[in-house]
Amino acid sequence: MTEMAHGTVVVQSGEAVLPRWWRTVDRVTIGCILALFAIGLLLGFAASPPLAERNGHDPFHYVIRQAAFGGLALAVMVMVSMLTPVQIRRLAVLGFFGAFGALALLPAFGTDYGQGAVRWYSLGFASVQPSEFLKPVFVVFTAWMIAASQEVGGPPGKAVSLAVTITIVGFLAMQPDFGQAALVVFAWCVVYFVAGAPMLLLAGVGALVGVAGSVAYSNSEHFARRIDGFLSAELDPNTQLAYATNAIREGGFFGAGLGEGAVKWTLPDAHTDFIIAVAAEEYGLVLVLVIIALFATIALRAFFRLTKERDPFIRLAGAGLASLLALQAIINMGVAVRLLPAKGMTLPFVSYGGSSLIATGITIGMLLALTRTRPQGEIGDILLSRHR
């Protein structure tokens, strides 16, 4: 693929790697990520001590772990963002086969940690969730396949990407993890849509998702229970959704104040899936709007920069990665306010979770690498080089 990106930049011969990276990378997006991570640590100080107490750890055990995983995630983000689009593609393809293999072996070697879904590998000192790492590399792999299919004599990349998507969704449904399966389908649809997919085809995919949902509802007690809970007019006051909804309502506009929230003592996943409830209760709507604005800024800046991109692979991969990040944030917050069924999904760079933090660091690193400013050639030169 051609290594081109939007905009123009003066090429300085012999320039060191770090100054060149800092001059060409989207610094506003980096600032937004740092702000989200800082907010996550702040909320961790409020949400994690009750959990640490229940598990017999020091009060800030989980905050320290979140800081360590987050620091590693930021380091990975910076290193990945220094790569070229070709290197990103190669890294993603290798990572895809590794993550896919790990996902396929989960039924034999994975664990559910008593949550009824086999999603993790236990390493003793930590756990790894393959689906978190699969998502970003799947997006880039799909973008490569679809972009390659547009070349003269190219492979049947669209059909291959669809087959791969169906296979991954099948493995995720077996866990079961319907939330991650929905993200994978959405990411494929975004990449294919940007590539110029017929609306009829996307409508067909939507219909198949609806049929698959009906089958899952009829055959999976786990799935049916969550859908029934979401559709029920009455909310069970002893469920996590009820605790989260009440906390958000009690927080009001400015919140109850640091450490004054009560939901963290009753909500088991307050530090992960329902971290936004802690934010709303202790800091109010103000902090929630700040978090939403940060995610929106990251996504919109990426889309804006990609609109000026001439290389199909970079456009497709960048759009898929930005959409993946934005949708995961929307799902997490939508579940907390009962706009969506419970899906067990973290809030990127805010929730506690080693796999989630590092995988998000990889996602943002790839997005930053693909949206860096690079010299532009004439569009005719690019088309000519793609047909040689």
Summarised one tens digit per residue, pLDDT across range 100-125 is: 999 999 988 888 876 777 888 888 77
| Nearest by Cα to 7 from 315, 371, 319, 364 | 371
Q: Is residue 336 part of a domain?
A: yes
Give dist(CA 358, CA 80) in Å, integer.
Answer: 12
Q: Is residue 271 part of a domain?
A: yes
Q: Is residue 10 part of a domain?
A: no
Q: Give me the pLDDT at residue 379, please.
A: 43
Q: Is residue 8 part of a domain?
A: no
Q: Is the pLDDT of residue 85 over 50?
A: yes
One-character DSSP codes across 333-355: HHHHTTSS-------TTTS--HH
Write the burial class of residue 298 (CB in 10 Å: 0-12 exposed, 13-18 middle, 19+ buried): buried
Q: Is residue 6 part of a domain?
A: no
- Total domains present in the chain: 1
Cα 354 to its chain centre, rounded Å, is 13
Q: Is residue 241 part of a domain?
A: yes
Write the burial class of residue 20 (CB in 10 Å: 0-12 exposed, 13-18 middle, 19+ buried): middle
Q: Is residue 9 part of a domain?
A: no
CA Rg value for the chain: 21
Q: Give me the pLDDT at residue 90, please.
A: 95
Q: Is residue 1 part of a domain?
A: no
H helical segments located in 116-220: 130-149, 157-174, 178-194, 199-219
User: Percentage of residues in the chain with pLDDT exceeding 70?
Assistant: 90
Q: Is the pLDDT of residue 9 over 70?
A: no
For 262-284, what is the mean pLDDT?
82
Find the angle CA(345)-CA(190)-CA(206) to the nearest 5 degrees.
80
Write out the residue range of the structural domain in which residue 377 sits.
17-386
